[in-house]
Structures are given as C-alpha cells and as structure tokens.
A and B are shown apart, each in its own frame.
Chain A
C-alpha cells in the first residue's frame, strides 16, 4: 500500500467536478487536499483509485477489503466440506455453483484492493501468516448437511445486511464490487432458506437436523456484525469517511428483525430465551435479544475458535502445494513471450 500512498495522485480527472486528486490536487497544500477530499466525501462523490486520499483512509480500506476477500476464500471451506456428500444432484449443483461464486467474489475483491496499490500475492501472504483476518464465522465447523442451509440463510443473510450499505461506500471500486456481489449473495441466501425449508418440512430427523444447525449458527451470525458500538475501534472514523453507513449494533438490530419472521416461516426457533418484541424500540418497535457471548467472539478472533488452525492450514497447503503449478505457468509465459518477441523481430 505504499506505492500510491502519500499523495502522489495521478493527474487524470477520473471523478466528477470537485473531486479530489484531479489536476490541481497534487500541487495543493496538504490541508487543501484534505479539505477537497472531505468535501467530496460529504457530497457523496466516489473516490477513485487515482484520486488523492488520506493515508489512513487507504490503509483502512486495504484492511477491510483484504479481510473481505479473505473471508470469501476461507468461506469456501466450510461449504466445500459438503460438496462430496450433498444428498441430491440438484443440491450438489447449487452448492458447487455457490462455492464457485465465492472464489469469484474473492477475485473481484482482490482486484478492487489492488487499485489501492497493494498486490494479491502480498495480501495472501498476510492471510497465510495470520497478519490479516477473515470473518470469524468461518472458524465454525459444518457438522451436518443442514449447516449448509444455515450458512446460506443466516451467514449470507448477515453478510448481505452488512454489505448492501457498502454498495454506497465512498470508495468507487469497492462499491461497484459490492453491487455485483450482493446480487449473487441474495440468491445464495434464498437458496439456503429454501434448503432449510425442505428439511424443516421433511422427516422428523431432517427437521431436527435443521433446528440443530440454526441453534449452532445463530449466535455466531450475530457476532458477524462486530463488537458493540461502544467497543468498535474503527467505526467512528469509517462512518465519517462513509465507508461504513450504519453502526454494528444498528445493522445487527435490522438483521434480528428480518430473521425472526423468517424463522417462524421456517417452523424453526431461534435459540434465545430473551428474544422478544418491544413495541417501544425505535420508531416502529423492534426485537430485543439476549446477551452475546463476547468472550467467545474474542477467543475466535484471537485464533482460538474451533477451526481457525484447520482453515489456515488448508489455505496454506493449497498455496504451497500449488507453487510448482504457478511456477510452471510463469516459466511458460516467459518462454512464450520470448518466442513472440523473436517472431516479431524476425518479421
């Protein structure tokens, strides 16, 4: 992230009038650049890769986008765990397509992160070394087929609640990636819901399997929105920069309000005895939920969740065992390029 940092913004006018980083910005005093940046953000203009931006804004975005990309890649594992055991060919095809989409989302997001002057290889190295994180949810194991449905319904549901506002994020490449990703994610979420519905309305064993999965995935899904607002280190600044649009707790509340009627439609219960409707909450009422086990959340974040080691080990192994393949492709490309060059000279 150093190559472009520090204000060596290009001279092309990539954003609308008044955007920072256009022709004059590089020559402006730091205060003026910051003021122009702040004004563009306030005016809901998109910041584009060649625009000037504060170093901390760049660093925050790299951190968040890398973490997001890593989550897509690590997130393939718990679901891929069931590809070979899917109970019908239709479900197997849906699951394969979903895991393929996740790899695609990872690719978009790494590309978007690369516009900030970092490289995919560098980001992957940081993931493998444990220096960048991925969503804590993927450190939970998929123990039954119903977990695939619970991930679709709850985990993708929580991801969408988080990500839809990112479609209006102030950084253009991120916002555009999110538009594409959210479309596919909502499709996955509906498929997960439908999978759970089939189980819930199926045999007693299938129903029990669905309920057990929801019981295990509910609280980790609520943790996906991050720590409570008063303990969230990055929130205030991200909101000021319009990277984030709503607070963690606000998004979590919305998610709970969406899930409660959906659980009823599924004929499944949510594992929270304190969950209740409060007509006086907010403008139109809202749900109150029981306390979240933040100690568990912290433990998982610190690497002590059920699957942290396994997830990273598999990712690292795939990378290391694939090194000879990447080397071969690079060697072939180099030879081939030399050949093309030779031909061009001969001609």
Chain B
C-alpha cells in the first residue's frame, strides 16, 4: 500500500500540470508519466483492497506515501527534481521486487520498464536545466536543494515489502550524484535524516499541503456516498 500511495499521489501532482506545461511535448510526457503511475497505483491498491475506497475514503493520517511525492509541483525545475529523486529510487526498488518471488514481482517487472523511461526523462531535463542558461541552472539547483530533505525517507523500511530499501541508498546517491555533476549542479549537503530533515510519510505524518490535495481529490467521491461512476 505504501508503494501504491507513492504512485497515486505523484500521479495526482503530475496531473495538475495538464494545460500548464512549458511546451506541448511536455504536456504529453507529463501526462504519460502520470498515467503510468496511476496504473501502478491501481494495481498496488487493488492488492490491498478496493482501489477507490482506498484512494477516496482514507484520511490524510492513513496515507503511507513518502512526503517527497506529495510536495507541490512548484516550477518546472521542482517537478523535475522530484521526478529525478523519486524515479532514481523507484527503478532499483522495482527491479529488486521484480527479481524476487513476492506478490509484487509481476507488477514490478512491468512498472520497472515504465520507470526506466521516467528516470530517463528526468535525467534529460536535469541536464538541460542544470547546463542550460544561468536562470535555469539557478532554478534547478534551488529545486534540488529544497527537496533534498525529503530524500532520506525513501530508504526507510517498508512493512511487508520483502526488500530493504536502505540497501538501495548508496546506489541512489551515486546515480543522482552522477546526473547532477554532469548537469554542472552541486549535490546538496543538507540533512536527509535526523532532527531537521523531513519525512514520516510512511507513518502517516504528512506535510501541510497534502490535506488540501486530498480534499480536492476526494470531494466529489465523498459527496455521493455509495454511488458508482
């Protein structure tokens, strides 16, 4: 369910870009990624129960997604930094799951192919923004710095997953560090865990904007109890 919530919430955030992207090609790409994630969320949530009940009738404290994915879109650089951090985590995680014989293995194999593309998209844009103009460089660095504090949480253990995310942390640091370096960006050095870092989404402690996001997402479903759509 934690992974399903990650995919659901990030998909929702990407869906907010529709009609607002900087170029038409990105309207297509962001919607495409959002759809892939929504597809993953639907399979994962269905393994845990009824997808719509889980998505629309749980309150904030019952969601298990990491705080990184619920962060508001911000500018395009923020969205790309969020995509980079998250897909660089999701890809090796899904690959591990695909290699195992757990209940997620078949889904993970298919999803890993999608996430491979998402990571490529995020990397390509990180390079372009980081190594583009002065303004884009500054914005991309700011975005990487701002979201850094949410990345430690990615490597906390997830109940019932069968894979230990903490084993992925060194690889993640290497792969993100490599992209940032190629993009002429500096790897942020703020805290990723401990007192001043963020992250307890897996325990249902979220950031303030998340409640508002859910209010919008759930209001219609909740306004018509028991209706089918």
Interface residues of A (CB under 8 A from B): 73, 76-77, 80, 83-93, 96-97, 99-100, 103-104, 106-107, 110, 145, 195, 198-199, 202-203, 205-206, 314, 317-319, 321-332, 335
Contact: B19 with A318, CB < 8 Å? yes
Q: How far is the CB of B25 from chain A (nearest CB, A)?
A: 7
Contact: A328 with B224, CB < 8 Å? no
Q: Which residue of A lies closest to B137 (CB)?
A: A328
Contact: B31 with A100, CB < 8 Å? yes
| A-chain residues with CB within 8 Å of residue B139 when the two chains form the complex | 324
Contact: B28 with A100, CB < 8 Å? yes
Q: Which residue of B lies closest to A145 (CB)?
A: B220
| B-chain residues with CB within 8 Å of residue A73 when the two chains form the complex | 24
Q: Which residue of B lies closest to A330 (CB)?
A: B132
- Per the 8 Å Cβ criterion, residues 21-80 of B in contact with A are 21-28, 31-32, 34-35, 38-39, 41-42, 45, 51-52, 55-56, 75-76
Highest count of chain B CB atoms <10 Å: which of A92, A107, A199: A92
| Residue among B15, B136, B216 making CB contact with A327, cutoff 8 Å | B136
| Residue among B21, B31, B132, B227 making CB contact with A203, cutoff 8 Å | B227
Contact: A198 with B42, CB < 8 Å? no
Q: Is B164 an interface residue (CB 8 A)?
A: no
Contact: A84 with B12, CB < 8 Å? yes
Contact: B128 with A332, CB < 8 Å? yes
Q: Is B174 an interface residue (CB 8 A)?
A: no
The contact string, 1 if C-beta is below 8 Å from chain A, for chain B 6-22, is 00100010011011111
| B-chain residues with CB within 8 Å of residue A203 when the two chains form the complex | 224, 226-227
| B-chain residues with CB within 8 Å of residue A107 when the two chains form the complex | 24-25, 28
Please judge, given known A-B contacts A93-B38, A325-B76, whether A100 and B22 are in contact too, CB under 8 Å.
Answer: no
| Residue among A104, A106, A329 making CB contact with B128, cutoff 8 Å | A329
| Residue among A85, A92, A314, A322 making CB contact with B219, cutoff 8 Å | A85
Q: Can you name 13 A-B residue pairings with CB atoms under 8 Å?
A: A87-B227, A88-B221, A89-B51, A91-B229, A99-B18, A100-B28, A100-B31, A103-B24, A104-B28, A202-B229, A324-B139, A326-B22, A328-B133
Highest count of chain B CB atoms <10 Å: which of A199, A325, A326: A325
| Residue among B24, B45, B128, B228 making CB contact with A198, cutoff 8 Å | B228
Distance A92 CA – B55 CA, assembled complex (angstroms)? 12
Q: Is B169 an interface residue (CB 8 A)?
A: no
Contact: A322 with B23, CB < 8 Å? yes
Q: How far is the CB of B73 from chain A (nearest CB, A)?
A: 12
Distance A97 CA – B39 CA, assembled complex (angstroms)? 11
Distance A145 CA – B20 CA, assembled complex (angstroms)? 21
Distance A318 CA – B55 CA, assembled complex (angstroms)? 29
Please judge, given known A-B contacts A321-B22, A324-B136, whether A84 and B216 are in contact too, CB under 8 Å.
Answer: yes
Q: Is B114 an interface residue (CB 8 A)?
A: no
Contact: A198 with B229, CB < 8 Å? yes
| A-chain residues with CB within 8 Å of residue B221 when the two chains form the complex | 87-88
Q: Is B180 an interface residue (CB 8 A)?
A: no
| Residue among A89, A92, A198, A326 making CB contact with B23, cutoff 8 Å | A326
Q: How far is the CB of B10 from chain A (nearest CB, A)?
A: 13
| A-chain residues with CB within 8 Å of residue B23 when the two chains form the complex | 322, 325-326
Q: Is B127 an interface residue (CB 8 A)?
A: yes
| B-chain residues with CB within 8 Å of residue A103 when the two chains form the complex | 24, 27-28, 31
With A91-B229, A103-B24, A107-B25 given, name 20 new contacts (CB 8 A).
Answer: A76-B18, A77-B19, A87-B220, A87-B221, A88-B56, A89-B52, A90-B229, A93-B35, A96-B18, A100-B27, A104-B28, A198-B228, A205-B227, A318-B20, A321-B75, A324-B136, A325-B23, A326-B23, A327-B135, A328-B133
